[in-house]
């Protein structure tokens, strides 16, 4: 008798297809907003420095406010928090587009960009719903996290192409405007689905303070700051390298290949039956990401770069899936959404730092030299992962879980194996 696909199995849960589809729409701005803002400002003003500074402001603002919004979600529920937060973000985005179109003073752009960072981490909200549904089914939860990583990569494959294409062929504000529409549609559709919304945990259940008090989560966030630097640097250097090769427009296709490698690996990873310590799989994944940066030092043309980035992408989604599994094990249930958002925050901060560092290196030494930045960032990520590995094994008993007994057995097994 043929075995049912794990992806088909997870969508058997009532409402799963609807909230995952809403999450896809709500996450599109993640890949569209930054690049759309850069394209819009550069088209309107020709000032790439201003465009980059505004994009960094938006990213850092989202990184700062995201965990705070998610903490309120854990306490009060998704519907009560996400709708007002999204309305604030949408108002600020409209102000940003209007100020850019009207040519208002630069400081108004930065104010609106900063407030626009009040954007919920929709991916964390969707993963929290999967965790609530399949908290007692590790295989299904593994497949659900893999599916959401695939959705993330699809967003990063199609989002930048749509955003850049609209802003350059229609009107400059079109890309960010469509991103705002996706955000509104995704969040309001998601929060309308009350049946699958995780049960909030009142203030009295939040005795442990921030989720970041977890020593295991601290390791994950620190490691993903370095990993985010890899992603940010690769984006900048690839555009510069493609321009040096006389095919700047091909940069988006090369980066899409990078995301495609991650997408395919995530799809395969989700159907595997894995054994052994989760923390050890995570460590191997971080090391694989770091090692995959080495061939970039040998890049001489765009086809070679595309192949190298496709191979490098194969380690990303499986590592993200394992990371979310570790967050789910190390963070108390009352802080789960916040814990997942902290990982995204670490990535966002790393992307901002990596893109800035790569830009400096490219300006000083050329595009090919810029690939030193993701290589160094990969080495740093591996070093942090090795140093913090002991904090990830065994996972502590997670509060409020019906699977605590099973978790204890898994943790004891992991301790013996490691």
pLDDT at 399 over 60: no
Mean pLDDT of the chain: 83
Tokens of 176: 């960010």
pLDDT at 3 over 60: no
**What is the distance between the alpha carbons of residues 125 and 298, in angstroms, rounded to a whole number?**
40
The per-residue pLDDT for 225 is 92
pTM of this prediction? 0.77
Instruction: Summarize pLDDT for 178-208 with one digit per residue, the tens.
Output: 999 999 999 999 999 999 988 887 765 545 5
**What is the distance between the alpha carbons of residues 307 and 258, in angstroms, rounded to a whole number?**
9
The per-residue pLDDT for 384 is 94
Tokens of 406: 């099973």
pLDDT at 124 over 60: yes
DSSP secondary structure code for residue 170 in this structure: T
- Residues of the chain with pLDDT > 90, as a percent, come to 30
**What is the distance between the alpha carbons of residues 153 and 310, in angstroms, rounded to a whole number?**
13
Say which residues have a Cβ less than 8 Å from residue 167's Cβ, sequence separation at least 6.
36, 39, 40, 43, 173, 174, 175, 176
The per-residue pLDDT for 189 is 96
Say which residues have a Cβ less than 8 Å from residue 272's Cβ, sequence separation at least 6.
none
Say which residues have a Cβ less than 8 Å from residue 321's Cβ, sequence separation at least 6.
142, 145, 146, 149, 266, 269, 270
SS3 214: coil
Section 388-394 average pLDDT: 79
Section 219-247 average pLDDT: 86
Place of tokens 């959404």: 337
The larger pLDDT score, comparing residue 417 to residue 395, is at: 395
Instruction: Summarize pLDDT for 50-82 with one digit per residue, the tens.
Output: 777 787 788 888 888 988 898 899 888 899 999
Please name each of the domains of the chain with its CATH number.
Answer: 15-200 (1.20.1250.20), 210-418 (1.20.1250.20)
Long-range pairs for 47-51: beta carbons < 8 A, 24 or more residues apart: 50/106, 50/109
The per-residue pLDDT for 203 is 61
CA 355 vs CA 34, 105, 287, 405: distances in Å:
12, 26, 21, 44
pLDDT tier at 209, thresholds 50, 70, 90 = low
């Amino acid at each position: 008798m043929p075995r049912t696909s794990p992806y088909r199995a997870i969508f058997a849960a009532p409402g799963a297809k609807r909230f995952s589809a809403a999450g896809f729409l709500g996450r599109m701005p993640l890949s569209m907003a930054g690049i759309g803002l850069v394209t819009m400002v550069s088209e309107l003003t020709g000032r790439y420095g201003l465009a980059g500074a505004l994009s960094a402001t938006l990213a850092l603002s989202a990184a700062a406010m995201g965990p705070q919004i998610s903490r309120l979600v854990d306490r009060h529920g998704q519907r009560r928090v996400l709708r007002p937060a999204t309305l604030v973000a949408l108002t600020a985005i409209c102000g940003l587009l209007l100020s850019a179109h009207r040519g208002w003073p630069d400081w108004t752009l930065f104010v609106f960009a900063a407030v626009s960072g009040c954007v919920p981490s929709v991916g964390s909200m969707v993963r929290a719903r999967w965790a609530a549904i399949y908290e007692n089914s590790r295989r299904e939860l593994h497949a659900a996290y893999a599916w959401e990583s695939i959705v993330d990569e699809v967003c990063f494959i199609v989002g930048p192409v749509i955003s850049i294409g609209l802003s350059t062929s229609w009107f400059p504000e079109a890309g960010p405007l469509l991103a705002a529409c996706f955000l509104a549609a995704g969040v309001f559709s998601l929060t309308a689905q009350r049946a699958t919304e995780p049960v909030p945990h009142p203030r009295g259940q939040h005795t442990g303070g921030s989720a970041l008090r977890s020593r295991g989560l601290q390791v994950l966030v620190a490691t993903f700051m370095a990993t985010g630097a890899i992603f940010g640097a690769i984006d900048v250097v690839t555009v510069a390298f493609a321009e040096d090769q006389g095919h700047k427009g091909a940069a988006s296709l090369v980066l899409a290949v990078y995301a495609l490698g991650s997408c395919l690996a995530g799809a395969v990873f989700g159907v595997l039956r894995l054994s052994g310590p989760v923390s050890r799989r995570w460590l191997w994944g971080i090391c694989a990401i770091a090692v995959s940066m080495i061939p970039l030092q040998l890049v001489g043309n765009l086809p070679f770069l595309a192949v190298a980035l496709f191979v490098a992408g194969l380690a990303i989604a499986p590592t993200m899936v394992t990371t979310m599994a570790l967050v789910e094990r190390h963070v108390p249930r009352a802080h789960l959404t916040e814990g997942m958002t902290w990982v995204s925050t670490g990535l966002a901060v790393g992307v901002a730092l990596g893109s800035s560092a790569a830009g400096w290196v490219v300006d000083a030494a050329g595009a090919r030299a810029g690939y030193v930045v993701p290589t160094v960032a990969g080495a740093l990520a591996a070093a942090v992962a090795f140093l913090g590995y002991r904090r990830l094994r065994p996972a502590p008993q997670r509060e409020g879980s019906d699977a605590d007994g099973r978790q204890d057995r898994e943790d004891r097994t992991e301790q013996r194996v490691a």
